[in-house]
Amino acid sequence: MKEKIYLDNASTTNLSAEVLSAMMPVLTSTFGNASSIHSFGRDASVLVEEGRAKIAESINAKSNEIYFTSSGSEANSWAIIGIANANRDHGNHIITSKIEHPSVLQACKYLEDNGFEVTYLDVDGNGYINFAQLIRAIKPTTILISIMAANNELGTIQNLKAIAQTAHEKDIIFHTDAVQLYGNMEIDVTDLGIDAMTISAHKIYGPQGVGALYLSNKVKIEPIIFGGNQERNLRGGTINTAGIVGFAKATEIAMRDMKINNYKLRSLSEYFIAKLTDTVENIKINANVRQKLPHILSVSFVGVDGESLLMKLDMNGIAVSTGGACSSNSLSVSYIMTAIGLKNEDARSTVRFSLGKNNSFEEIDKAVSIIKKCVDELRAYSSTYGMKIRKRKGDKNV
């Protein structure tokens, strides 16, 4: 079988062997329900609280400010809807951006349908929000600002401290979706002034099916999942002990190896960009800025449909993503690409490569040569490629 190359680490990462080793005894021996009062339950509960403490420490929060969820999407939805509902007596206006994860945008849409008002901020060509627009958008009724820490398709990192300061000047709660940033960069919620933050295990080589919401003790929230007294009566549902143990272990490893991983990912990314730019002509690296996650690369290939390239690469053993247009077999366009100003036809030409700590320089070499082959094959029968190149050269007679 062909050796496969995984370049979709922003979708999910592989479960690390160290994490699996930490989880195995929990899955097999310490299987009690962490809410049970017998010894099986108490043993599980100890592990959960140790995990909570470890995750809290990683972001300079208190243990009782970490709430476990089933995913980043749940934590995002809960933060938006739960905070909005709990603080409704102060106002009904929420500010977010046009490039948030669907779990934020759809929660906002739900609130709009239920009497809230939402402002969706524009972003510039690199995915940064416009501060002047943010300040103008604030109203006396604004109760929550939710801006993602790092974008899942572009990797662009927002200025969280400045957004938090802007929010706090007007007594507004600041939530950030840090699913992509967490574990890749240090986040000190106290220093940055973050009131609520979403994180997830499977983006940092932990298990799928467990996320967390950091919620400052100063912030009021209402539950959206009922039926149990778990998570201080705020999130019902049996606690995923093995998942939490895995999450905590993944956090410990991410914090321990952060510097070396960052160095490796930056080197791999720079090598990939240089090699790709040299090998494949007529491409554009989107949001090619310094203040971003190095491992997320958004690349537009002139004259090529991104989903076709994804499928062709998959047939050749390389896994990538077309980002927001995650429902395949459609002709939809990533709203994030539209938000940064790409025309539909260019947005459709975009593919996201997201590197991981397990990728090697040899894999990048191999991947680039396969990308070149696939792009050439698609351009050979592209109906727009020649047309677009002529347009670019500005010579109608070519």
Partner 1 sequence: MYSKVVLNLFADPKNTGRISKPDGIAEVYNNDNTAHVEFSIRVESGIITDCKFRAQANPYIVAICSTMTTMVKGKMVAMLFLDPYSIKTTLGDESPVDIGFCIDCIRLAVQDYKEKLEKSNK
Shortest spacing between CB 382 and partner 1, in angstroms: 5
Q: What angle do CA 305, 298, 101 make, to 5 degrees?
A: 100
28 scored as a contact of partner 1 (CB under 8 A): no
Q: Which is nearer to partner 1, 90 or 388 (CB)?
A: 388
Q: Which is nearer to partner 1, 134 or 302 (CB)?
A: 302
23, 245 contact by CB (below 8 A): yes
Stretch of 115-123, 226-234, 276-284, 330-338 contacting partner 1, by CB under 8 A: 330-338
Q: Which is nearer to partner 1, 257 or 307 (CB)?
A: 307
Shortest spacing between CB 144 and partner 1, in angstroms: 33
Per-residue x/- track, 288-317, partner 1 (CB under 8 A): ---------------xxx-xx--xx--x--
321 scored as a contact of partner 1 (CB under 8 A): no
Residue environment code for 103-131, b if the CB has 16+ CB neighbours within 10 A, otherwise e: bbbebbeebeeeebebbbbebeebbbbee
Other C-beta atoms closer than 10 Å to the C-beta of 397 total 4
385 scored as a contact of partner 1 (CB under 8 A): yes
d(CA 106, CA 381): 38
328 scored as a contact of partner 1 (CB under 8 A): yes
Tokens encoding 131: 């501060």
d(CA 249, CA 22): 7
Residue from the set 1, 17, 37, 331 that interacts with partner 1 by CB under 8 A: 331
Shortest spacing between CB 392 and partner 1, in angstroms: 15
Residue from the set 28, 39, 383, 397 that interacts with partner 1 by CB under 8 A: 383
Residue from the set 115, 329, 393, 397 that interacts with partner 1 by CB under 8 A: 329
Stretch of 8-16, 124-132, 353-361, 382-390 contacting partner 1, by CB under 8 A: 382-390
Residue from the set 14, 106, 208, 332 that interacts with partner 1 by CB under 8 A: 332
326 scored as a contact of partner 1 (CB under 8 A): no
380 scored as a contact of partner 1 (CB under 8 A): yes
350 scored as a contact of partner 1 (CB under 8 A): no
Shortest spacing between CB 84 and partner 1, in angstroms: 33
Active-site pick, 326, 358, 390, 391: 326
109, 76 contact by CB (below 8 A): no
Bridge partners, residue 206, by sequence: none
Q: Is 374 a catalytic residue?
A: no
306, 350 contact by CB (below 8 A): yes
Q: Where are the alpha helices (DSSP H) in the chain?
A: 17-28, 39-58, 72-86, 102-112, 131-137, 160-169, 189-192, 230-233, 241-256, 258-279, 306-315, 335-339, 344-347, 361-380, 385-393
139, 118 contact by CB (below 8 A): no
Shortest spacing between CB 309 and partner 1, in angstroms: 10
333 scored as a contact of partner 1 (CB under 8 A): yes
d(CA 119, CA 328): 29
d(CA 54, CA 60): 10
Tokens encoding 252: 């410990």
Tell me how far CA of residue 79 lies from CA of 61, 146, 176, 375, in angstroms. 17, 9, 9, 41
185 scored as a contact of partner 1 (CB under 8 A): no
Q: Catalytic residues, which ones?
A: 326
Residues near partner 1, by CB under 8 A: 303-305, 307-308, 311-312, 315, 328-333, 343-345, 347-349, 380-385
